[in-house]
Amino acid sequence: MPATPDLSVVIVGGSTPAAIDLALELASAGLRVVLHDVESEVVGPLTRDSVPGLPPGTGHRLVESLAAGSIIASSDAAVVAGADCVILPVDSTERDEDRLVRWMVRSLGAVAVEMRDDQPLLIASRPHPALSRMVQRFADAIGRSLLVEDPGPGNVRLSAQP
């Protein structure tokens, strides 16, 4: 894939291992990536050498990408306004439906006011069915029209309808 330096993505809930893995893949493909988390005390450790809960080597790759500027960590919701795409990475191993829904509402709720009408929102993983329903209700509540597409195993994509 050729580098696309003008394309940027914001990954909300960006302190999770799934978010960090996705950020590293997108950055290595040449995209500008922002890891967003609502709490600054969660984003802070992302900028240091020690990142808890990551597989061996991932923390080092993250620190290198942060130092190089290909990945930025932020708790400022305003970073969403300038992004070409917003991604919600869902940990498909999470079995606690209530916890998953609370995390989604917290992560997307923190940035919803900054999202543009023409900005796609992607869910990177096959979420629990309750999460898909909750995202649809959330979109309805904030006045966004979303089309839920299932392109097959692996991903559910949400994008703004024309």
What b/e readout covers 24-58, taking b as 16+ CB neighbours within 10 angstroms? bebbeeebbbbbbbbeeebbeebeeeebeebeeee
The CATH number of whichever domain residue 114 belongs to comes to: 3.40.50.720
Q: Give the list of residues 6+ apart from residue 18 with CB closer than 8 angstroms, or none.
A: 89, 90, 91, 124, 125
In a domain, 12, yes or no: yes
* Residue 80, domain extent: 8-160
Both tokens of residue 140? Answer: 């309805």
In a domain, 1, yes or no: no
What pLDDT sits at residue 44? Answer: 67
**Number of domains present in the structure of the chain:** 1
In a domain, 155, yes or no: yes
Per-residue pLDDT in tens (0 to 9) along the chain, 162 residues: 334 345 689 999 887 778 888 888 888 888 889 999 887 666 666 655 556 667 777 778 888 888 888 998 888 899 999 899 999 887 766 677 788 888 888 889 899 999 988 888 888 765 556 666 777 788 788 887 665 544 333 343 434 443
What pLDDT sits at residue 20? Answer: 85
Rounded Cα distance between 3 and 47, Å, is: 24
In a domain, 22, yes or no: yes
Neighbour-count burial of 12, counting CB atoms closer than 10 A to its CB (0-12 exposed, 13-18 middle, 19+ buried): buried
What pLDDT sits at residue 152? Answer: 38
Q: In the sheet where 156-160 sits, what is the strand order?
A: 71-74, 32-36, 8-12, 85-89, 121-124, 156-160, 146-149
In a domain, 154, yes or no: yes
Q: Model-level pTM?
A: 0.70
Q: Tell me the residue length of the chain.
A: 162
In a domain, 3, yes or no: no
In a domain, 58, yes or no: yes
What pLDDT sits at residue 13? Answer: 85
In a domain, 38, yes or no: yes
